[in-house]
Amino acid sequence: MPAPRYRALHRWFVVTLLCLGVIIGYIDRTNLAIALASPAFSGFFQLSDSGRGVLNSAFYWAYTAMQIPAGFIVDRFGPRLPLAFGVLFWCAMSGATANAGSSGQLATLRVLLGVGESALVPAGLRWIRDHVEEQRRGLAVGIFMSGTKWGPAISAPLSAWLLARYGWRAMFLILGCGGAIWLAPWLWMTRREADPRRAAPHEPAMRVPEPPFLSLFRERALWGTLIGTFCYNYFVFFGLTWLPAYFVERRHLSLNSMGVYTMFSFAGTGLVSVLAGYAADRLIQRGCDPVNTRRWFTIAGLLAASTEVAGALSDSANVAVFFAIFSMTGLGLATANYWAVTQTVLPHVGAGRVAGLQNTSLNLAGIVAPIVTGWLKQVSGGYAVPMQAIWVILIVGVGSYLFLMRPAVRAGIAVPARSTA
């Protein structure tokens, strides 16, 4: 096989492998939400609505705090070994959840799970930045980040089935230990990784020096990214942590039906994220401005997601299920592009560090959304108020991409107005 073709196949195989790693990570972080929809599990740990919200957010306490350190580690050592050690550790913590005997032990294991998964996104985005050129990066990021939706889509019916058939302890043990199989192909396929300090093969040998890290916070584009990322993921984390319980408690679905409809919600996002990433790439290849192209895809996704409130306010279970699936599917328009546009407006900054910052904002939503949703549900007595809050937050996200997301111009990190591809 000719060398260029082999390298291309290898590149897309590794991108797919990274997507599979994200799927495994999201199965391990979302299976708790499925367990919490079971009265037997919540009763065993004696959890209130507020307690369920806090427990759902525990993973993100450490995961969020570790994003910037993980980004620095990935930029220093490359993605290969940090990700391998992270996968091994998080699979062990996920499997150990089967032995939890109190809510305190459960929360501790979720915090440690967050530590293990912290290198996942910085490592994946760093690998893509180093090996995939701009005009194909939307598709690569789309494939990679679609794992954040395929993971919950697979986890919902699989976890519900394991929970119903074998109990929650077996569910955590099987899903946790099974993910470690991923390590072998990752270590094999990346065994010839280059020094992470070298320029990526598709970038010029002479690169603009990276600006000081703190100078990034003077950039309007970065703040637009951080605010928009938080708003996008506030909705996502409602889906990850409370959507199963919403289907069971508000719409009176069985555990198995809940798993199926949750699967369709996230599978739709995963499919559209890949298609939207590819479509944006094609427009950029034809001369469209990279920043504006990816920005408008992101805005369209946030607006589509905001239709969830229509289902929340309906008394019809069928209408509610339709808008749950439609809103999550429409969000896929933003999934690849809100990640890729960040690398476009900040091209000469360490990708691991920027990904760490963006993932910190993402996972602040993971801390806030479960707790606020649980509190609003407890004080209002239902799901209508929490889901109205989601609508407001998504509209704020639209505003951040409309008014703040522009190419960065300070600190030597300007972006050309149009693609040169």
- Residue-wise pLDDT tens digits, 89-129: 999 999 999 999 888 899 999 999 999 999 998 899 889 88
pLDDT at 419: 35
Please choose, from the candidates 216, 194, 219, the residue with its C-alpha nearest in 3D space to the C-alpha of residue 351: 216
Domain ranges for the chain: 3-187+209-403
Where are the alpha helices (H) located in 167-219, listed in sequence order? 168-178, 183-189
Q: Render 309-359 in DSSP notation, one character per residue.
A: HHHHT-S-HHHHHHHHHHHHHHHHHHHHHHHHHHHHHSTTS-HHHHHHHHH
Length of the chain: 421
As a whole number of angstroms, the distance between CA 267 and CA 414 comes to 36
Residue 192: Cβ within 10 Å count: 7
In the CATH hierarchy, which fold is given to the domain comprising 3-187+209-403? Answer: Growth Hormone; Chain: A; (1.20.1250)
**pLDDT tens-digit series, residues 345-381:** 765 555 566 767 887 888 788 889 988 998 999 899 8
Which element (helix H / strand E) includes 62?
Answer: helix 49-65
CA distances from 261 to 25, 341, 386 (A): 21, 31, 20
- Give 214's contacts (C-beta < 8 A, 6+ positions apart): none
Number of neighbouring beta carbons within 10 Å of residue 278:
17
Predicted confidence at residue 339, as pLDDT, reads 77
Q: Which residue ranges of the chain lie beneath pLDDT 70? A: 1-6, 134, 193-216, 343, 346-353, 355, 406-421
Quote the pLDDT of residue 21: 95
Residue 393 pLDDT:
96
Please answer whether residues 119 and 84 qualify as being in contact, where contact means their C-beta atoms are separated by less than 8 angstroms.
no
Check: pTM over 0.85? Answer yes or no: no
